[in-house]
Structure 1
Amino acid sequence: MNQITNSGTEQSPEKRKIVVVDDEPFVLKVLARQLTLLGYEVLSFERAQDALSVLEESGPGIDIVFTDLQMPEMDGVEFVRRLVGARYDGHIVLISGEDARIIRSAERLARARGLSVLGALSKPATREQLKEQLSRAEVTTQVQSATAVPKYEREELRAAISDGQLVNYYQPQVAVGTGAVIGVEALVRWRHPRDGIVSASGFIELIEQYDLVDELVREVLPSALNEIAALQSLGNELRLSVNLSIDNLNSLDFPDFVAAAAAKADFPLSRLVMEITERRLVGDQLSSLDILTRLKLKRIGLSIDDFGTGHASLAQLRDFQYDEIKIDCSFVHGAWGDDSLDAIFRASLLLAKQLKMVTVAEGVEDADDWRHVRELQCERAQGYFIGRPMLVEELPSWLSEWEDRFGKL
Structure 2
Amino acid sequence: MAIEKTLYQIESLLVVDDSTVQREHTVGLMRDMGVDLIYEAGNGHEALELLAMLKLPPSLAIIDLEMPGMDGVELIQQLQQSQATFPLIVASSRETSLLSSVETMIQALGMRVLGALQKPLNREKIVAAMKSFDVAASTPQKNDSLPSICESELAAAMRNGELTAYYQPKVDMRTGMLKGVEALARWIHPTMGFIPPDRFIPLAEQGGLIHELTLNMLAKAMAQAALWNERGLPLKVAVNLSPLSLDMPDFVQKMSDLLAQHALLADQIVLEITESSVVANLGSALGTLARLRLKGFGLSIDDYGTGFSSMQQLARIPFTELKIDRSFVHGAHQRQNLRVILQSALDMARRLELVTVAEGVETMEDWRLLQESGCLLGQGYLIAKPMDAKDFPIWLKGHHRRLPELRMPVSHDK
Q: By the TM > 0.5 criterion, same fold?
A: yes
Which sections of structure 1, spanning at least 5 residues, go unmatched?
A: 1-8
Q: Partner of 1:169: helix, strand, or coil?
A: strand
Q: Partner of 1:407: helix, strand, or coil?
A: helix
1:362-377 to 2 correspondences below 5 Å:
362-377=359-374
Aligned: 1:389 with 2:389:
no
Q: How far apart in 2 are the matches of 1:346 and 1:231?
A: 34
Match of 2:212 in 1: 215
Contact conserved, 1:55 with 1:88, CA < 8 A, in 2? no
Q: How far apart in 2 are the matches of 1:60 and 1:245?
A: 44
Match of 2:187 in 1: 190
Q: How far apart in 2 are the matches of 1:40 and 1:290?
A: 64
Match of 1:178 in 2: 175
The letter for the 2-side match of 1:378 is C
1:292-311 to 2 correspondences below 5 Å:
292-311=289-308
1:139-288 to 2 correspondences below 5 Å:
139-144=135-140, 149-232=146-229, 235-288=232-285
Q: Please say which of residues 315-324 and 176-185 is displaced more in the overlay.
A: 176-185
* Equivalent residue for 1:347, pick from 341, 344, 349: 344
Q: How far apart in 2 are the matches of 1:250 and 1:277?
A: 15
Pairwise CA RMSD of aligned residues? Answer: 2.2
Which deviations, in whole Å up to 9, do the C-alpha atoms of 1:18-47 show, x marking residues without a partner?
A: 221111111111112222332252111111
Q: Please say which of residues 64-73 and 142-151 is displaced more in the overlay.
A: 142-151
Q: Please say which of residues 77-86 and 150-159 is displaced more in the overlay.
A: 150-159
Match of 1:61 in 2: 57
Aligned: 1:130 with 2:126:
yes
Q: Please say which of residues 192-201 and 308-317 is displaced more in the overlay.
A: 192-201
* Pair 396,112 (structure 1): closer, same or farther in 2 beyond 3 Å: same
Deviation of 1:373 (Å): 1.5
Q: How far apart in 1 are the matches of 2:183 and 2:23?
A: 47
Which deviations, in whole Å up to 9, do the C-alpha atoms of 1:328-375 show, x marking residues without a partner?
A: 112122222321111111111110111111111212212112211111
Aligned: 1:86 with 2:82:
yes
* Pair 72,243 (structure 1): closer, same or farther in 2 beyond 3 Å: same
Q: How far apart in 2 are the matches of 1:364 and 1:296?
A: 28
Which deviations, in whole Å up to 9, do the C-alpha atoms of 1:286-330 show, x marking residues without a partner?
A: 221121111111111000011111110000011112001011112
| TM-score, L = length of structure 2 | 0.90
Q: Partner of 1:23: helix, strand, or coil?
A: coil
Q: Partner of 1:381: helix, strand, or coil?
A: strand
Contact conserved, 2:275 with 2:310, CA < 8 A, in 1? yes
Which consecutive aligned stretches of 4+ in structure 1 deviate over 6 angstroms post-superposition? none
Q: Partner of 1:144: helix, strand, or coil?
A: coil
Contact conserved, 2:290 with 2:318, CA < 8 A, in 1? no
Q: Please say which of residues 126-135 and 344-353 is displaced more in the overlay.
A: 126-135
Q: Please say which of residues 357-366 and 203-212 is displaced more in the overlay.
A: 203-212
The letter for the 2-side match of 1:21 is V
Match of 2:411 in 1: none
* Pair 279,130 (structure 1): closer, same or farther in 2 beyond 3 Å: farther
Give the number of aligned pairs. 401
Match of 1:101 in 2: 97
| TM-score, L = length of structure 1 | 0.91
Which sections of structure 2, spanning at least 5 residues, go unmatched?
A: 407-414
Q: Please say which of residues 129-138 and 267-276 is displaced more in the overlay.
A: 129-138
